[in-house]
């Protein structure tokens, strides 16, 4: 359930849980600007900076975010990137957020964009993207102290908001203030509307130098200050690494989804990126799949993979909506997942936020998939659909700062330590490109290009083939006209394989079934036996559809496309520096496995965030679970020593 809010007669929102009015909304825009924005020296403080990072405790109805976003938009000297990280234990509904902004017409267009993204706010992090990726709101849902442990970044500005200390003491207690202080650098400006003694003392104890300032009537005082402890502050782990680089030059090897997403994330931050690929056109590898499904993973215990896939889905859906044409390149149709083990597969909580993502399929949805109610178990993913990955690759590569170069097969990487420059060489030893940084995103070929020493990255090739045909008898193998309508599900279905019923192509709408899964095979020859295997898979997944397509599979057969997935031993991507000490500037973004359509955009953002020490788009423990070092022998020895195993 979203947080229950009462709207008082004077229009202010009130929280029955805390017995208090929403503070930022008291007094409206002028107060919000005065207390927080101006109280922290903004917008002047961020002028001409490449990035600015704001931390807010207590997102509430989002007024401070909207006011800050509006100031950013209006400022010709705005930073290229504005990060706004907000904590919130009890998120309000999208409708209440919009209602909160209704009194401020100048904020309404921004509030409408915000409310459209406020769904599925389960505990954890949610990265909401605005202004083509230049305004990034990271909503950290949960207790402030706990979520900040998972967000190791340095804020430039801190807004302390929330219900009054007497009503919600937890958000002002010394432990929370310490957690805030851990996100500060010397000089981070802080502001709040409360001058409660306990808050002043707590902040002082944590290293802030604060003073009461005159408030905007009817408020008498506000509090402003700076982080300037008398001691050397203990830095967040991420901040102890080398200082983040200024955007310079980067070569990305691989023009699939992972490489294109990396390039777009770096380009957005001001990098000049060259994307090299061995093929003559982008998306020549696994990302050339004619169409695939975008669907979150579910598990009863909401595993790391499930949470990661939701972060990835949100990132991809936003990117697709911004760059692609819905209906032609992708469509958020919803996807029905047939659960072959008979369990619904969902966590038990059944909250509204959970149901925004996925819930048990209704009898009507089962009927629309031609599946009998009571005989099959299935869940319905609301935030899901199909996509043509090559279209997304192409769109990402047209983003600013990116140059694409095809027919460039990288064979070796060489670093000139004195100049701090990487060279990418071809088989003859000729230089294909050089830059300060290299990101290897070459799928299965990444194992040798970015290998640790001689062993290479522990990657596995998994060959796959899909079968596809034109709907309604457009091709020789097609069934009779119009009959598809009755025999196809109304939306994509996954479970044991996938079936996508309708994707527009230049030749007419197509259906697609797949996919085979052959470990340790890396050839892309199309095989008749894989067509048969896809048919058998379809018979299990959607018997009625399979029966309808039986003649198509038996005669000349549907068309086929084959590619090679690249997977790591734990089936999670590899994102990060290969070995920061021995090979500075060499990063990897690969091992997307069977979920690259969901993971790639998120992994591009994660790579850029780690590189720049920015707020993370997902919890730190998830980012760490994707670190390439998890498979290096040294890391395992260290882990064994640390855990005593
Ligand atoms: C049959 C099949 C069905 C799938 N279905 C789905 C699905 O429904 N949903 C989903 O999420 N995922 C699906 N996937 C997985 C998804 O396609 C991949 O995870 C994703 O495309 C991987 O993207 P990538 O950029 O890491 O790799 P790729 O797209 O393979 O890109 C790697 C690029 O590196 C280039 N390269 C390689 N070596 C070199 C070199 N030495 N020099 C220069 N360039 C080089 C290649 O040419 C290639 O363009 C499917 C995969 C297959 C095979």
Residue 373 lies in a domain: no
Ligand 1 centroid–CA 592 distance in Å is 8
Pair 455, 518 in one domain = no
Helices 94-101 and 108-117: crossing angle, nearest 10°?
A: 170
Q: Do 97 and 215 fall into the same domain?
A: yes
Quick one: which atom of ligand 1 is closest to the CA of 282?
49
Whether residue 586 is found in the same domain as residue 558? no
Pair 479, 398 in one domain: no
Q: Between the CA of residue 498 and those of 430, 465, 612, what are the distances in Å? A: 43, 12, 38
Q: What is the arithmetic mean of pLDDT over 129-144? A: 97
Whether 491 and 638 map to the same domain: the answer is: no
Judge if the beta carbon of residue 592 lies within 6 A of ligand 1: yes
Binding site membership of 443 for ligand 1 (Cβ less than 6 Å)? yes
> Given 528, 544, 567, which residue is the final one in a domain?
567
pLDDT, tens digit (0-9, with 9 covering 90-100), for 109-119: 999 999 999 99
Q: Is 498 in the pocket of ligand 1 (CB under 6 A)?
A: yes
Measure the CA–CA gap between 188 and 42, rounded to whole angstroms.
12
Mean pLDDT within 563-586? 95
pLDDT score, position 242? 62
Angle made by CA atoms 222, 227, 232, in degrees to the nearest 5: 160
Kindly state if the Cβ of 276 falls inside 6 Å of ligand 1. Answer: yes
The CATH number that applies at residue 425 is 3.50.50.60
In a domain, 88, yes or no: yes
Closest ligand 1 atom number to CA of residue 592: 19
**Over 90: is that where the pLDDT of 172 sits?**
yes
The CATH number covering residue 488 comes to 3.30.9.10
> Which tokens sit at 300?
């009863």
**Probe ligand 1: pick from 289, 294, 572, 575, max atoms within 8 Å of CB?**
289
Q: What is the pLDDT of residue 486?
A: 86
Using the predicted structure, report yes or no on whether residue 246 has a pLDDT greater than 70.
yes
Residue with CA nearest ligand 1 atom 20 = 596
Among the listed residues 418, 425, 423, the one whose alpha carbon sits nearest the alpha carbon of residue 434: 423
Task: Order the strands of the 81-88 sheet from edge to edge.
Answer: 124-130, 135-141, 81-88, 51-57, 155-160, 184-192, 221-227, 208-214
3-state secondary structure of 168: coil
Q: Which atom of ligand 1 is nearest to the CA of 449?
A: 41
Residue with tokens 């390039």: 263
Average pLDDT value for residue range 486-492:
95
Rounded Cα–Cα distance for residues 348 and 599 (Å): 25
The pLDDT-based confidence of 621 (bands split at 50, 70, 90) is very high
Alpha helices in 154-295 (DSSP H): 174-181, 197-205, 237-240, 257-268
Residue 369 is predicted with a pLDDT of 95
* Co-location of 44 and 180 in the same domain: yes
DSSP element (H, E) containing 457: none
- Statement: residue 397 has pLDDT above 80: yes
Share of the chain above pLDDT 90, in %: 81
Token pair for 205 = 């104890």
Mark whether 91 and 135 lie in a shared domain: yes
User: What rounded mean pLDDT belongs to the chain?
Assistant: 92
Task: Supply the range of the domain harboring residue 85.
Answer: 6-240
For residue range 630-641, list pLDDT tens digits in order.
Answer: 987 655 444 444
Question: Residues 188, 258: one domain?
Answer: no
Flag whether pLDDT at 593 surpasses 50: yes
Q: What is the CATH number of the domain that holds 155?
A: 3.40.50.150
pLDDT (0 to 100) of residue 23? 73
616 token code pair = 């993370």
pLDDT band (50, 70, 90) for residue 218:
confident
**CA–centroid distance, residue 301 to ligand 1 (Å):** 29
**Same-domain status, 30 and 157:** yes
* pLDDT score recorded for residue 631: 86
The response to whether residue 464 sits with its C-beta less than 6 Å from ligand 1 reads: yes
Q: What is the pLDDT of residue 473?
A: 55
Sorting pLDDT into bands at 50, 70 and 90, what band is 103?
A: confident
Residue 230 and residue 264 in one domain = no
Express each pLDDT in 331-373 by its tens digit. 999 999 999 888 889 999 889 999 999 999 999 999 999 998 7
State the total domains in the chain.
Answer: 3
């Amino acid at each position: 359930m979203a947080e229950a809010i009462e709207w008082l007669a004077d229009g202010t929102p009130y929280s029955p849980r805390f017995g208090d009015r929403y503070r930022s909304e008291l007094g409206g825009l002028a107060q919000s600007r005065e207390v927080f924005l101006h109280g922290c020296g903004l917008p002047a403080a961020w002028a001409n900076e490449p990035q600015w990072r704001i931390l807010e405790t207590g997102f509430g109805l989002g007024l401070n975010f909207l006011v800050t976003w509006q100031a950013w938009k209006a400022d010709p000297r705005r930073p290229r990137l504005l990060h706004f990280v907000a904590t919130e234990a009890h998120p309000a509904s999208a409708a209440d957020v919009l209602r909160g902004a209704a009194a401020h017409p100048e904020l309404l267009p921004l509030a409408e964009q915000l409310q459209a993204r406020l769904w599925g706010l389960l505990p954890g992090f949610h990265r909401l993207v605005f202004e083509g990726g230049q305004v990034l709101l990271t909503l950290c849902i949960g207790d402030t102290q706990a979520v900040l442990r998972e967000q190791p970044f340095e804020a430039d500005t801190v807004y302390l908001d929330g219900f009054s200390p007497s009503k919600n003491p937890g958000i002002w207690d010394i432990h929370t203030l310490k957690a805030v202080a851990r996100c500060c650098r010397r000089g981070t400006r802080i502001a709040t509307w409360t001058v409660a003694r306990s808050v002043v003392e707590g902040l002082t104890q944590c290293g802030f130098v604060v003073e009461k300032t005159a408030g905007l009537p009817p408020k008498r005082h506000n509090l402003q200050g700076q982080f300037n402890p008398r001691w050397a502050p203990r830095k967040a782990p991420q901040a102890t690494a080398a200082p983040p680089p200024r955007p310079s030059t980067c070569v990305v090897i691989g023009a699939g989804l992972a490489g294109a997403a990396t390039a777009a994330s770096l380009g957005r931050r001001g990098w000049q990126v060259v994307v090299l690929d061995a093929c003559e056109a982008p998306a020549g590898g696994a990302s050339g799949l004619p169409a695939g499904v975008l669907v979150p993973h579910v598990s009863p215990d909401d595993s790391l993979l499930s949470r990661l896939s939701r972060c990835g889905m949100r990132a991809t859906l936003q990117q697709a909506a911004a760059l692609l044409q819905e209906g032609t390149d992708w469509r958020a149709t919803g996807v029905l997942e047939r659960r072959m083990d008979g369990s619904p597969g969902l966590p038990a909580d059944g909250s509204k936020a959970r149901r925004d993502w996925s819930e048990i399929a209704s009898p009507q949805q089962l009927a629309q998939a031609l599946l009998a109610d009571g005989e099959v178990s299935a869940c319905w993913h609301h935030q899901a659909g199909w996509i043509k990955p090559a279209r997304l690759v192409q769109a990402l590569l047209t983003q600013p700062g990116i140059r694409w170069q095809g027919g460039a097969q990288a064979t070796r990487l060489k670093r000139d330590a004195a100049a701090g420059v990487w060279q990418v060489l071809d088989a003859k030893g000729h230089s294909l490109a050089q830059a300060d940084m290299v990101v290897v995103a070459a799928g299965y070929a990444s194992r040798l290009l970015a290998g640790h020493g001689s062993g290479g990255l522990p990657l596995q090739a998994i060959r796959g083939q899909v079968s596809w045909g034109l709907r309604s008898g457009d091709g020789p193998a097609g069934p009779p006209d119009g009959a598809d309508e009755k025999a196809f599900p109304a939306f994509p279905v996954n479970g044991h394989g996938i079936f996508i019923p309708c994707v527009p192509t230049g030749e007419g709408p197509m259906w697609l079934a797949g996919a085979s899964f052959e470990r340790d095979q890396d050839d892309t020859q199309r095989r008749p036996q894989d067509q048969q295997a896809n048919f058998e898979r379809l018979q299990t997944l959607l018997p009625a559809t399979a029966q309808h397509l039986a003649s198509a599979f038996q005669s000349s057969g549907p068309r086929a496309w084959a590619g090679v997935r690249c997977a790591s031993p734990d089936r999670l991507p590899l994102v990060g520096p290969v070995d920061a000490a021995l090979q500075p500037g060499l990063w990897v973004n690969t091992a997307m496995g069977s979920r690259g359509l969901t993971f790639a955009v998120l992994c591009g953002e994660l790579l850029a965030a780690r590189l720049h020490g920015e707020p993370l788009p997902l919890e730190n423990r998830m980012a760490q679970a994707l670190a390439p070092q998890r498979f290096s022998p040294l890391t395992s020895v260290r882990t064994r020593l640390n855990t005593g195993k």
